A = this chain, B = another copy of it.
Amino acid sequence: MSKKASHIRLYVADDLLTQRTIILGREQAHYLVSVMRLAVGATVLLFNGRDGEWLARLVKADRKSAQLMVEGQTRPQSLDPALPGLTLLFAPVKRAKTDLIVEKATELGVARLIPVITERTNTDRVKMERFLSIAAEAAEQCERLSTPVIDLPTGLDAALKAWPDDRPLYFCDEARTAPLLLSVLWAKSSQSGDGLGPCGLLIGPEGGFTAAEREAVCAHRATCSVSLGARILRAETAAISALSLIASAYELVRTDLQ
């Protein structure tokens, strides 16, 4: 495990199997050769979200391109530590904070990200390519074997309409009468069977939802209003904090099941 952790991991689009040649694009080649100073003969790990993780050896390298030869599989896709049932619906906020949400959600195992446009969302902040590249880089660093799916931006109404009635949608309500998220997760994960199934987390924009939006959220049958405690958290802190709790509860249930 420690040997693997010291390897550079790259997300690629290609199918991965033994003896396959992988030609890296300019950006990844530059990273390996100029930034990380790998030479021909060095090994890296590759994953594509489908075929698990593979050891590959650098067989050709210059500043503009790099060629790898796939050797053997190091982990099957089934060992992906991502959490397939976890979706984050988030209103994009300021650029650095949105980047942080995408990066940390990926690290924390989120399987699907849905950028939600609300009345107080500046749609200029929705940069799909940027989100995808941040998510890929975060996945490379955290031993995931997949990158999260990132949906095209959607309006709040459409997002709510598409959300299934039977899949809990945690909503961090600033009205502090809601139960603590940890206490809800605690109760669910001590239930027998699949008490902690697929779920979503909805995080509003910096200025909060409008009254009408909040009403629409609360009217959805799946909505489960929760509190994160007595302190007022910024939007990105609320996202990271709530995802940490949910990911840990999933992890705990998974551990118990083994």
Residues in A lying within 8 Å of B, measured CB to CB? 1, 5, 81-82, 100, 104, 107-109, 141-144, 174, 176, 180-183, 186, 228-234, 237, 240-242, 244-245, 247-249, 251-252, 255
Query: In the assembled complex, which residues on chain B have CB atoms less than 8 Å from the CB atom of A247?
Result: 229, 241
Interchain CB contact (< 8 A) of A249 among B81, B176, B182: B182
Other-chain residue from B104, B144, B229 in contact with A81 (beta carbon distance below 8 A): B229
Q: A181 touching B107 by the CB < 8 A rule?
A: no
Contacts A5-B174, A186-B186, A244-B244 known; 15 new A-B pairs at CB < 8 A = A81-B230, A81-B231, A107-B233, A109-B229, A143-B231, A144-B231, A180-B255, A182-B245, A182-B252, A229-B247, A229-B251, A230-B251, A237-B240, A240-B240, A241-B247
Bound Cα distance A244, B185 (Å):
14
Interfacial chain B residues near A252, Cβ < 8 Å: 180, 182-183, 186
Q: How far is the CA of A183 from the CA of B252 in the complex (A)?
A: 7
- Measured in the bound complex, the distance between the Cα atoms of B185 and A245 in whole Å is 12
B5 touches A248 (CB 8 A): no
Say how many copies of this protein the assembly contains: 2
Q: Can you list 24 A-B pairs with a CB-CB distance of less than 8 A?
A: A1-B176, A5-B232, A81-B229, A81-B230, A82-B231, A107-B231, A109-B231, A141-B234, A142-B231, A142-B232, A143-B231, A180-B248, A180-B252, A181-B248, A182-B245, A182-B251, A182-B252, A183-B252, A183-B255, A186-B252, A229-B248, A244-B244, A245-B245, A245-B248
Chain B: which residue is nearest A249 at the CB level? Answer: B182
Chain B residue, CB-CB nearest to A242: B244
A175 to chain B, nearest CB (A): 9
**Residues from chain B with Cβ under 8 Å of A181 in the complex:** 248
A244 with B240: CB separation less than 8 A: yes
- When distances are taken between beta carbons in the complex, the residues of chain B under 8 Å from A232 are 5, 141-143
CB-based contact A231/B180 at 8 Å: no
Query: In this complex, which of A183, A244, A245 has the most chain B Cβ atoms within 10 angstroms of its Cβ?
Result: A244
For A230, what are the chain B residues with a Cβ–Cβ distance below 8 Å? Answer: 81, 143, 251
Q: How far is the CB of A201 from chain B (nearest CB, A)?
A: 13
Once the chains are docked, how many angstroms separate the CA of A88 from the CA of B117? Answer: 36
